[in-house]
Amino acid sequence: MSESGHVIEAFDTVDLIHIKRDRGVLSTAQINWLVDAFTRGYVGDEQMAAMTMAIFLNGMTRTEIRDLTMAMLHSGERMSFTGLGKPTTDKHSTGGVGDKITLPLMPLVAVFGAAVPQLSGRGLGHTGGTLDKLESIPGWRANLTNDEMFAQLRDVGGVVCAAGSGLAPADGKLYSLRDITGTVEAIPLIASSIMSKKIAEGTGALVLDVKFGSGAFLKDIAKSRELARTMVELGQDAGVATSALLTNMNVPLGLAIGNANEVRESVEVLAGGGPADVVELTVALATEMLAVVGIVDVDVAAALHDGRAMDKWRAVIRAQGGDPDAALPVAKETHTVVADRDGVLVEQQALPFGIGAWRLGAGRARKQDPVQHAAGIDLHAKPGDVVKAGMPLFTLSADEPERFARALEAIEGAWRIGDPGEPVQDGGPLIAERIA
């Protein structure tokens, strides 16, 4: 404090921008000050925008990324579940088209005695949000107090809810800025954003579903691998047992893209059915989430078939005010696209279908926009399937029929029927790698 009563800041913001602009390395003290000063408003948005662009262009060292993560973590509260009497394990997905895995995954893991504190978000753009999907269920509420969350984990074993504003508030400010400055894809900023919130959440273990391909946040598998390794290192450095699966998002996951229709598909999986790819990824992630907390040699798939996972799902939905037996929203209008000839569906690109669902009203362009829970796309065939002329390929659903034209425009050229024997779109295996 100076004689005039003004706080004398430890560093000059422009000096720190110069360091990163010139490919230098910021110290722990500099990063701690920068995050704190930005959170309290001393560092302006325009200055932090310059810093994020310098980071985007020049990267950060592992130590810098760790320091940035911990500074954002310490900008707010940190939850603790040490009094639960059971291990906690969570999952985070980088998002994709038709990715509804959290819905069947959380109750499936909870069946085996682990607590799953799944703090989730809302969709933006072509990637859907878990909270948007669950809000299709009448009565279900996303906002819980910390005490309600703790009690539900203790009594039921799982929870999916919105993260409170007290968790890593610096990340909330920084994320909003990145979204409007073209720096969302910077791996140091992605990794520190995700991991600061997940570590603050208080889970003892974390499994990351890092996607690559057409419908993923990062298209290139090498970039996704780099992000996965960075986040695993951050988790381990913070004492959170962390591993990652690299998973394929070249083709939409499952047959439903939207909100209410993805809930329906998730319930099918919990009932022992559902698309094979959704079941495969759900079982793989559940097995990994249990393994990182030492629960091994259990038949995860069996819990989908014998009703235990469904019972847990119903209990969790009821605990948050939802009615698991209530009818889900149905769109007022539908439009079905049919095959124009016999052949084999050889291509089905994820991203255009995600954009199509977004244009139908299933997603939002701005955080404050509402979503139409009944809007979306239901696929009737996947690459490799034999189709006949006139057979339905996919159905668009929306409350306003004028949305169909723009959605079809987005999907144009994203699917193709070929002749028998023609190579089918090679997306590779669903689960490409495990990183731990």
Q: Name the one residue in this structure whose structure tokens are 């999916």.
A: 160
Pick from 25, 38, 19: nearest CA to 171 = 38
Pick from 256, 207, 221: nearest CA to 428 = 221
Per the document, the length of the chain is: 436
The CA distance from 358 to 375, in Å, is 8
* DSSP states of 266-300: HHHHHTT-S-HHHHHHHHHHHHHHHHTTT--S--H
Antiparallel, parallel or unpaired: β 205-212 and 158-162: unpaired
Distances (CA, A) of 78 to 15, 103, 123, 201: 31, 25, 24, 6
Phi-psi region of 258 (alpha: psi -120 to 50; beta: other; left: phi over 0): left
Helix/strand/coil (H/E/C) assignment for every residue in 62-98: HHHHHHHHHHHHCCCECCCCHHHCCCEEEEEECCCCC
Question: Within 13 A of 138's CA, how many CA atoms are on the CB side?
Answer: 8
Which strands form 376-379's sheet, in the order they lie side by side? 256-258, 376-379, 392-398, 333-338
DSSP SS3 for 395: strand
Catalytic annotation, residues:
92, 171, 178, 193, 197
**Structure tokens that stand for 392 in this block:** 């339905």
